[in-house]
A and B are shown apart, each in its own frame.
Chain A
Amino acid sequence: MNMLIRSIVGLIILIVLLIVPHFLEFHHQDLLIFLTINVLVVASYRLVTLTGEWSLIHAVMMGVGGYTATLLFLNYELGMWFTLPTAGLLSAAVAALLCFPLLRMTQFYFLIGSFAAGEAIRLVWIQFLDPFGGTGGLSGVSPPMIGDIDFMDPIPYYYLALTVVSICLFLLYRIEKSRVGLTLHSVHWKAPLAESVGVDTWRYRALAFITGSFFVGIAGALKVHYIGTITPNQYGIGFMVFILIWVIVGGYNKFYGPIIGVIVLTMFDESIRGFDEIRPAIYGAVLILSILFLPLGLESIPGKLKAWFIGSEVVEPPLTDE
């Protein structure tokens, strides 16, 4: 029965996802593609945070993927089938190198360390005009043509992005629900206990960081192939903060929490399009209010309602361990 309901819900979601671009105007189709890509960004960030470390370098890792795809495309005319996985692998490789300095730190130190490392990478893009193009970045990347289908159009590109993102989400979900995911959780909640039964916490933190970077690298490549340009500022602390907001407002305790967050906030963002100047402040206020009044995010609302009606208590763990 449960299974049946699940399949029906899944089927409905699938149909909606497939037909939705046909009911949207051009500008919203664009947005839908960015939303699809951002879903992958937040889902991969969640993997990084599973071990309890909040990094501030995820946006830059996406940029690493984006620059990889751009350079491969511009210099070697390699198509997306090649740039996507390579972008992921290169992000993962950069993350692997960064593990050595960064994972010696935890908590506050990790946060600041990851911020510093990310800024350093971004400044390298700004400093070295060749090959990164400096502040102005690079442009001229285009999506593929397959036969008659021009992926420059939003609708085909949306289907392409949807396919890639769905596959990645499926993989991320499998990881989280596997014993590897359980071990990552265990590192978060009680690292010494995990160590005492043989978990190499360093390795698992590295695993989460590298794998998360792999997926966000793919997201970066997906994005640059659609918009065609890349600049260092697209992946600055500003975008990183958006990732944080999506994840926190959505709720980071469940796999789907951050995804809900990015979807709801993107729609919210559209609805305040008229107030461009004060948009960041509205975001700031939303962030503060959600931390103060809904610390477990939107995802926790159904549970709260249920508890309210049935009367059982919801336990609210703090954001970080003591």
Chain B
Amino acid sequence: MELILQSIINGLIQGGLYALFAVGLVMIFGVMGVVNFAHGELVMAGAYTIWYLHAQQGLGYLPTVVVAVVLVTLIGLLMERFLFRPTRNDPLAGLICSIGMLFILQVIATLIGGEGPSKQVPPVFQGTLVVFDFLRIPNQRIFALVISVAALVTLWYFLARTKLGWALRAVALDREASALQGININRISMIAIGVGAGMAGLAGALMAPLTNINPHMGHNVIITAFIVTIVGGVGSLSGAVLAAILYALFHTFMTVYFGGTIATISGLLLMVLVLIIKPTGIMGVRISE
């Protein structure tokens, strides 16, 4: 019982982080039609920023989180301008460019941090919240949860309540029609990837004190993001959030009882299953082919 409750709590916190980066992937795919294979590397870049500026150079954690978000947003904007815009009519070309970018970001990380063992960032928020005597939640994780929920709520508000958010959703639904309506596609793409990359950077910054940091950490991130995106329904943001939480719970439990590898295998199989049975995902309507 205690183990189950503890796993639920851990899963929920994990789910918030998953949602942060999966939502970005979904937005970039929805608006620009490209699968950003370098999305995991954007998360990695966020984590590296924390490790380098905060853990190495001694900059405060909160300012560094802001720097990480800004930096990764910038990387995303550059990718849009120089990789995805020129290849806009050709989704495969965009995907391949993002693979090229993935290598470049990994090498930059290696150059900054060197090879060798994974890096650790010591927790900033010491202490642990104990509930009912047996549930132990480190404050660092509580912080990650609060921030990711806040970011997701802000994103929701932006998409649902602002004019720009409306334009963004319109482009995701039908790019040609939106262009005819006078929506500036370049601008919307910039916003989509800016927000998507920024959230990936934030996820990386929040994960930094909770995980091992190395140049290849993006691999697991992208696998998770794919699973979440497909299960949630390609192009459905709320689906992605829901799937992120469900998948995080699923993965946490599977890891507790069967180990990490089996957990990931079952996650992948789950995803293939969803692709077969309902390619539009649990919440999805197909918005772009």
Contacts and interface: CB of A to CB of B under 8 A. Distances in A.
A–B direct touch, CB within 8 Å, in complex?
yes
Interface of A: 54, 101-102, 104-105, 107-109, 111-113, 115-117, 119-120, 123-124, 126-127, 237, 241, 244, 248, 277-278, 280-281, 283-288, 291-292, 295, 318-320, 322
B276 interface: yes
Contacts of A291: 87, 93, 96-97, 100
A49 B281 CA distance: 26
Interface stretch (B3-11, B49-57, B103-111, B141-149): B103-111
B100 A287 contact: yes
Nearest to A102: B272
A100 to B, nearest CB: 8
B123 interface: no
Contacts of A285: 100, 104
Tell me the dominant secondary structure on chain A's binding face: helix
Nearest to A106: B289
A127 B95 CA distance: 30
A120 B100 contact: no
B124 interface: no
Interface string B74-112: 000000000100110111110111011111101110110
Mostly, the B contact residues are: helix
Contacts of B93: 291, 295, 318-319
A283 B100 CA distance: 7
B264 interface: yes
B107 A115 contact: no
Nearest to B280: A109
A159 B254 CA distance: 49
Nearest to A277: B110
A111 to B, nearest CB: 7
A87 to B, nearest CB: 23
Interface stretch (B183-191, B195-203, B226-234): B226-234
- The 10 A-B residue pairs whose C-beta atoms are closest, nearest first, are A284-B103, A281-B107, A287-B100, A284-B100, A288-B100, A280-B103, A319-B92, A120-B268, A284-B104, A127-B261
Nearest to B107: A281
A98 to B, nearest CB: 9
Contacts of B100: 283-288, 291
Given A113-B272, A116-B226, A318 B96 contact: no
A181 B101 CA distance: 34
Given A116-B271, A123-B268, A277-B107, A320 B101 contact: no
13 contacts: A101-B276, A104-B276, A108-B35, A116-B275, A244-B96, A281-B107, A284-B99, A284-B101, A284-B103, A284-B107, A287-B96, A295-B90, A318-B93
Contacts of A109: 230, 234, 275, 279
B97 A288 contact: yes
A111 B35 contact: yes
Contact of B92 (A54, A120, A237, A284): A54
B272 A292 contact: no
A113 B104 contact: no
Given A117-B268, A284-B103, A105 B35 contact: no
